[in-house]
């Protein structure tokens, strides 16, 4: 698939998911894709039930971490959430920034934006805004964010270098990001890389962990570190939709690992010339 096709596939899949509840995603064996025709999105997700600001209506079970847990968000901060979905991480961030902070959620799926805005209205939040847009070219002003967060979304973005350059652009000098995402250790089989459903389910779009870190550092970030890491097990019955028995056996023997990570990086406070560039 080319980049345009990838984005359209992701948009269509997440538009379907936006129309379902978390319970519906969990009780169908593979989420919105139908019974066992694709990836079970909930195998990546974590439990938010005890997290302040959590909104059950905004939780579709699509994340692979809790980025706000490690994001060092402070009261009064402006936070941008990339791929904000139905708004769950935005509402958690809002509980931290308080009345005088601001949270901006960005998503490229109209159905998700509509659902998030409906949830914000029900919660009567006036300082949470949802914006329709592409992470590779954000309709967000330069140097507006103290913190950028994202939850299992950048693996879906075809041009990850451009995405992190955009993150760098919208962060204030001295700002930082904390992003939960899916990465690979080893090499994915070509059939999985080419599978549209596996891409929309966060697996096929994931890249090698070391390359992921290199992209972040090439974008200008410093003090880059992994805050949390855990291995993800994709059930055999899902992988067998794309691989033969022999290919699955070979895949397992190769030792390829699929991991969720939460990664952090700082934007430096300035160039040292006194011009705040």
Q: pLDDT at position 197, please?
A: 61
Token digits for 105? 């959620």
CA dihedral 209, 215, 218, 222 (to 10 degrees): -50
Reported as a single tens digit per residue, the pLDDT across 48-103 is 777 899 888 888 777 778 899 999 999 999 999 999 999 999 999 999 999 999 99
Average pLDDT in the chain: 84
Position 33 scores a pLDDT of 38
pLDDT of residue 28: 41
- For 161, the token pair is 């270098």
User: How much is the pLDDT for 272?
Assistant: 45
> Looking at residue 7, what is its pLDDT?
77
Of residues 257 and 213, more confidence is placed in: 213
Check if the beta carbon of residue 21 is closer than 8 Å to that of residue 86: no
pLDDT (0 to 100) of residue 114:
95
Q: Report the C-alpha gap between 224 and 219 in whole angstroms.
A: 11
pLDDT of residue 243: 85
pLDDT digits (tens, 9 = 90+) for 178-229: 999 989 888 877 777 766 566 555 566 788 999 999 999 999 999 999 999 9
CA distance 176 to 77: 11
Q: How confident is the model at residue 37 (pLDDT cuts 50, 70, 90)?
A: very low
Classify residue 66 by its DSSP letter: -
How many other C-beta atoms can be found within 10 angstroms of the C-beta atom of residue 245?
9
Report the pLDDT value the prediction gives residue 206, as an integer from 0 to 100.
81
Question: Per-residue pLDDT for 167 more than 80?
Answer: yes
172 with 145: CB under 8 angstroms? yes
pLDDT of residue 198: 62
Tell me the percentage of the chain whose pLDDT exceeds 90. 50
Nearest to 181 by CA among 213, 158, 160, 155: 155
**Domain ranges for the chain:** 3-261
Residues linked to residue 262 through DSSP beta bridges, in sequence order = 180, 228
Weakest-pLDDT range from 97-111, 157-171, 248-262: 248-262
Question: Does the pLDDT value for residue 42 go beyond 70?
Answer: no
| Residue 57 or 10, more confident | 57
Quickly tell me which residue has 């699509």 as its tokens.
62
Extract the tokens encoding 192: 């999985």
The pLDDT, as a whole number, for residue 276 is 46
How far apart are the C-alpha atoms of 58 and 118, rounded to whole Å?
10
pLDDT tens, residue by residue, 113-128: 999 999 999 999 999 9
Taking residues 246-270, report their average pLDDT: 88
Structural contact between residues 265 and 187, judged by C-beta atoms closer than 8 angstroms: no
- 152: tokens are 């299992």
Distance CA 114, CA 85 (A): 9
CATH homologous superfamily for the domain 3-261: Vaccinia Virus protein VP39 (3.40.50.150)
Span 13-42, mean pLDDT?
54
Q: How far apart, in Å, do the first and last CA atoms of the chain sit?
A: 38
Strands 102-107 and 171-185: unpaired
């Amino acid at each position: 698939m080319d980049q345009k096709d990838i984005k359209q596939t992701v948009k269509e899949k997440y538009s379907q998911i936006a129309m379902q509840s978390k319970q519906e995603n969990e009780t169908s064996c593979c989420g919105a894709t139908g019974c066992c025709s694709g990836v079970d999105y909930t195998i990546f997700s974590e439990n938010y039930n005890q997290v302040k600001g959590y909104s059950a209506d905004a939780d579709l079970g699509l994340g692979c971490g809790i980025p706000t847990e490690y994001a060092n968000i402070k009261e009064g901060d402006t936070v941008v959430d990339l791929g904000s979905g139905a708004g769950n991480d935005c509402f958690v961030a809002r509980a931290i920034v308080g009345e005088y902070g601001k949270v901006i959620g960005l998503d490229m799926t109209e159905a998700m934006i509509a659902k998030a805005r409906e949830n914000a209205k029900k919660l009567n939040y006036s300082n949470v805004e949802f914006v329709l847009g592409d992470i590779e070219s954000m309709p967000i002003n330069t140097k507006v964010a103290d913190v950028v967060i994202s939850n299992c979304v950048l693996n879906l973005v075809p041009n990850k270098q451009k995405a992190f350059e955009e993150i760098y652009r919208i962060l204030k000098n001295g700002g930082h990001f904390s992003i939960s995402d899916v990465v690979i250790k080893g090499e994915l089989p070509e059939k999985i890389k080419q599978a549209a459903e596996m891409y929309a389910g966060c697996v096929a779009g994931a890249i090698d962990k070391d390359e992921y870190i290199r992209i972040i550092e090439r974008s200008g970030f410093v003090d880059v570190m992994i805050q949390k890491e855990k291995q993800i097990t994709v059930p055999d019955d899902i992988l067998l939709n794309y691989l033969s028995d022999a290919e699955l056996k070979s895949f397992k023997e190769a030792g390829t690992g699929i991991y969720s990570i939460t990664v952090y990086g700082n934007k430096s406070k300035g160039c040292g010339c006194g011009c705040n560039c």
